[in-house]
Amino acid sequence: MLDPNTAPSAPHSPPGARFLRRKPVERLVAESGHGSGGGSLRRTLSMWQLTMISIGATLGTGIFVVLGEAVPLAGPAVTISFVIAGLTALFSALSYAELAGTIPASGSSYSYSYATLGELVAWVCGLCLILEYGVSVAAVAVGWGQYLNELLDGTIGVTIPAALSNPPGDGGYFNLPALLVVLFAMAFLMGGAKESARANTIMVAVKIGALLMFCAVAFTGIRAGNYEPFMPLGLAGVSAAGASLFFSYIGFDAASTAGEEAKNPQRDLPRAIMLSLLIVTTLYVLVAAVAVGAVPWESFEGSEAALAGVLSDVTGTELWAVLLSAGAVVAIASVVLAVLYGQTRILFAMSRDGLVPGVFSRVNARTGTPRANTVLVSAFCGILAAAIPLGELANATSIGTLFAFGLVNIAVVVLRRTRPDMPRSFRVPLSPALPLLGLGFCVYNMLNLPAVTWLVFGLWMAAGLVFYFLYGQRRSRLAVEAHEPPATAEK
């Protein structure tokens, strides 16, 4: 008798059973790398490159842009806010580490959900990941244009006109810099995973260097009085800042999207996820502590380029601010590159399962990359960034991420119960307590998001479910194999 947890739904299964059909873990692993079009993904990424992918996707907008919005909420205690946001990410990171080592597939939490919670939940998770990756690419690209103007103004005294650097509704007609940085990232991704990983590693080194430079220069301006009062707006302010700073941790799971291109995924993926989170959190807390010590926290109000402003105040010259702006331009470009990479690999996995059109899993035999997928995703994200004011849509990125993180915490507990003897290269300690705590943190943060964010999220989910019921449930490979003769399904 076939195990219902590993076998496709039979033709006579109850209607609801097809939504609960699971894709066996062994099959997910066996299909690793295989796409359509005569090509396969290539295992070329080392543990260090995987770590750089996660750092590249995480370290950028949060510290260069969001810090200026968080300090007025928490004051000098913004360092605690970063720790709170980091703890929220940590519990989910532990679950990601276990599942990434157990199920090294490109789909990240989508694939983990498919193996444990069923097809419909996996589809919902995929929708959340598209919000996390696709929309955040656009949001980050918009921020890149702002720092590019800062750099141009500080070096040659010229800026891109507002008409060409802001989208309609924000004082312009078309955000050209946002489109250009997406096309820049697309060009690297088209060349291959190894080549784009090398470029990302160089850019990550530049932005870490820029942040360490900031700490060294701004440290000379620290005044003890700037830390007093430490918590001027109370615990409520610290909590509010922590919720907004969660955006700064989006992307640490990017290494898990490279599961089919890692040389040794079972060993390296858990290490890369945990190491990247440790490095990012340390840098965040260090930079925040130095920044609020160098200038009074009230001066951060309304600051879009907070770190550059701190250096200008401390040194009395624009030179260091210009250098930091250059670092920010590189930093945010690397976020676009790493997050765009993750989005293409998630759609690759969903396409291979038949839930989205097959063009997204077509791999170029020469480069070993899903080139059509990359072009389509880049075009979508580039147009979104260039033509649409994102506004509250950025919060939709957070709610999608939190939902996906919550599912990963549930998936760990489910897989421990259904497949307790499965080899695991990393195990979440104190399970199920820590995964459930991670789930609780995710739910708490989701409930603190504004009502309009929930409205956007609900509309996105509704549209996605309509697509699934009209397209995905019928074209799913598990559905095809359950309802057609083996020869036809194989063909």
Q: What is the pLDDT along the chain (491 residues), one digit of tens a residue?
A: 334 344 444 344 455 566 678 888 888 878 776 666 556 777 888 899 999 989 988 887 667 767 777 888 888 999 998 888 888 888 889 999 999 888 888 788 899 999 899 999 999 999 988 887 877 787 778 778 777 887 888 788 888 887 887 777 777 788 888 889 999 999 989 888 778 888 888 989 998 998 999 999 999 989 988 998 899 888 888 888 887 787 788 788 888 888 888 888 888 989 999 999 999 999 999 999 999 999 888 887 755 567 877 888 888 777 888 888 888 888 888 888 888 988 998 999 999 899 999 899 898 888 788 889 999 999 988 888 887 765 555 667 778 888 999 999 999 999 999 988 888 888 999 889 999 999 998 888 788 777 888 888 899 999 999 999 999 888 888 888 877 655 444 44
Specify the length of the chain in residues.
491
- The span from the CA of 340 to the CA of 147, in Å, is 20
Q: Could you tell me the sign of the dihedral formed by the alpha carbons of 235, 236, 239, 241, in that order?
A: negative
Question: Contact, 248 vs 84, CB < 8 A?
Answer: no
pTM of the model: 0.84
Burial letters 245-279, b for 16+ CB under 10 A, else e: bbbbbbbbbbbbbbbbbbeebbebbbbbbbbbbeb
Domain boundaries, the chain: 42-490
- CA 72, distance to chain mean position in Å, is 26
Q: How far is CA 470 from the centre of its chain?
A: 28
Q: Does domain 42-490 have CATH number 3.40.950.10?
A: no
- Written as one letter, the residue type at 193 is A
* Contact between residue 335 and residue 225 where contact means Cβ atoms under 8 Å apart: no
* Alpha-carbon gap, residue 122 to 114, rounded angstroms: 5
**Non-local CB neighbours of 300 within 8 Å, separated by 6+ positions:** 67, 68, 71, 72, 292, 306
Q: Please report the beta strands in 73-180, taking only residues with DSSP state E, as ranges in sequence order.
A: none
| Cα 294 from chain centre | 31
Q: 190: which 2 tokens?
A: 């088209």
